[in-house]
Amino acid sequence: MYNFYSILPEIYILCNICILLMYGVFFSTFPSLGYPLLNKNFNLLVLQILIFSFLLAFSQTPLNLLNWNNLLISDFFTYYAKLIIILATIGWLLLSFGYSIKEKLNYFEFWILVLLAVVAMLFITQAYDLLTIYLTIEFQSLIFYILASIKRTSEFSTEAGLKYFILGAFASAFLLFGSSIVYGLTGLTNLSDLSKLFLGLIGNEISFNLIIGFIFILVALLFKLSAAPFHVWSPDVYEGAPISVTAFFSILPKLAILGLLFRFLLFTFYDFISYWQSIILIAAFLSILIGTFGAFAQTKWKRFLAYSSINHIGFFLLALLSGDLNSISSVIFYGIIYIITMSGIFAFTVNVNFYAYSKTYQLRYLSNIKGLAKTDPFLAFALTIILFSMAGIPPMAGFFAKLFVLLAAVQVDAFGISIFAVIMSCIACFYYIRLIKNIYFDSVINWKVMEPMHKMSSLILGLSLIGILFLFIDVEMVSIITLLMSIPFLH
């Protein structure tokens, strides 16, 4: 019933958060030490905590267990999703290591918030009840609002946090409203009970109100995923937040929310497939469309990446259409490659600083990378590979991700949207190779000195590069993990 073992990593992190909080509060206000800045110290401590919690999560056995009064579930999906989330957080931590020092992001609370966000995401993957789903998503969202506005002195950051908060509160309200409608009509909150209730229902037997409740929940989840047409917040929030927070938003929460979407669509509300399929289809269509054409007009890296990730979300949803085992595993495959690619590109964007006489400035505009091939050939090469992968050119990892997604779509005869997605990804290619053009072909007028990247982030960049370049040698290895992760969603 109360299985502490199943949430051991979360408990471990929570305990450590308390200790860290006390440590931070005591020491940063210590006059005799001269009010020390604990930033670097905290960073390392958080790294250590994450590594230990990774080991704890790794040592768990992936069993199909319902515990905590059927509020939480642990299965293959949660097992691997936890590992991936913790690993991705470690990667994110390493890549934002240099940034926090350089930008003097000296709030130790930042790292504690990050840890809390990780706990929230770990819980989201396990949530198995409308109640826990609402609580965990709200938990995560609240932390994200604070993270977006962490840079107190910056107008943009505050604005981003506020925008995110207002719009996110709407989405949370939708989620709560939808859940309460479903609860009011059925009297059930547990996902598995609901799925048993809905089993075998045919179109006209489903009450209209129930569909309304379901759509409310779905909209809230699509909002959290920043799928179009609920994407409007994401470019603004991405742009306003400090870039390492942007990296956090774009790398981490997608997988957790996707897991929740799987549970909803493919498990609990599977019999509503005729309703949600068209919603997902429209969302996929719009996401790909807006992601592609939105990115065209951008001149700033952050907004560019925001639209690019909306485009990727479109592909996630495209694969979800068919709603079978293959589609889930292809979504997870895409998700893993998305995390790897985004880690790589953010390792670059977060850490590149230019020095033009008398001041240092961050990479902000897309045109800043002009002439990179001359100033730093290897970095240029790495970025080129990552961009080709994002464009989906074989034999990079991004191609295989798109391949499996399209395969899943073709299996349900969704030819129209597949051809549309293919043509859009061709158009998307145009702006990815525009960046490559900036790197290699363009002549430069004002030469800038590039400061060397932080060691840790170049480590992450290198790892992501290896992942992208050499994944094609053993696609099966990743696909076995994705297949295992998709098993729990079978009926």
Chain positions contacting other proteins, by CB under 8 A: 373, 377, 388, 393-395, 399, 403, 406-407, 410-411, 415, 418-419, 422-423, 425-426, 429-430, 433, 436-437, 440-441, 472, 475-476, 479-480
In terms of CB distance, is 162 or 403 closer to other proteins?
403
Instruction: Report the SS3 class of residue 210.
Output: helix
Cα 96 versus chain centre, distance: 16
Cβ proximity to other proteins, 63 vs 410, nearer residue: 410
The answer to whether 183 touches 175, Cβ cutoff 8 Å, is no
* 402, 418 contact by CB (below 8 A): no
User: Min. distance of Cβ 363 from other proteins in angstroms?
Assistant: 22
Nearer to other proteins, 36 or 377 (CB): 377
Pick the closest to residue 85 from 336, 454, 391, 457 (CA basis).
336
Alpha-carbon distances of 361 from 241, 246, 448, rounded to whole Å:
16, 18, 10
Q: Which residue number, 182 or 397, has a Cβ lying nearer to other proteins? A: 397
DSSP 35-88: S---HHHHHHHHHHHHHHHHHHHHHS----EEETTTTEEESHHHHHHHHHHHHH
Q: Which is nearer to other proteins, 120 or 382 (CB)?
A: 382
- State both tokens at 239: 């742009």
Helix (H) or strand (E) holding 428: helix 415-440
| Three-state secondary structure call for residue 231 | coil
Using the minimum distance from each CB to other proteins, give the nearer residue, 15 or 480.
Answer: 480
Distances 240 to 32, 94, 157, 224 between C-alpha atoms, Å: 37, 22, 5, 18
The Cα–Cα gap between 302 and 132 comes to 32
Q: Looking at beta carbons only, is 22 or 419 nearer to other proteins? A: 419
- In the complex, least distance from residue 295 CB atom to other proteins, rounded to whole angstroms: 16
First to last CA, the chain: 24
Cβ 476 to other proteins, closest distance in Å?
A: 5
Q: How far is the CB of 120 from other proteins (least distance, A)?
A: 35
Cα-to-chain-centroid distance, residue 418: 24
> Which of 14, 242, 7, 9 minimizes the C-alpha distance to 110?
242
Cα–Cα dist 94/347, whole Å: 9
Calculate ∠ Cα 267-272-273, nearest 5°: 85
Q: Which two tokens stand for residue 6?
A: 């199943």
Which 3 state secondary structure label does DSSP give 395?
A: coil
Q: Least distance in Å: CB of 111 to other proteins?
A: 38
CB of 76 to other proteins, least distance (A): 17
Quote the least distance from Cβ 468 to other proteins, whole Å.
13
User: In the complex, what is the shortest distance from the CB of residue 380 to other proteins, in angstroms, rounded to a whole number?
Assistant: 10
For residue 217 the two structure tokens come to 């929940």
The H or E element containing residue 163 is helix 155-186
In the complex with other proteins, which residue's Cβ is closer, 179 or 389? 389
- Min dist CB 429 to other proteins, Å, is 6
Supply the minimum distance, in Å, between the C-beta of residue 410 and other proteins. Answer: 5
Q: Which residues, other chains included, contact 91 with Cβ-Cβ below 8 Å and sequence gap of 6+?
A: 251, 343, 460, 463, 464
CB of 36 or CB of 394, closer to other proteins: 394
Measured from the CB of residue 403, what is the shortest distance to other proteins in angstroms? Answer: 7
**Number of Cβ within a 10 Å radius of residue 146:** 18
| Cβ nearer to other proteins, comparing 139 with 404 | 404
Is the CB of 124 or the CB of 436 nearer to other proteins? 436
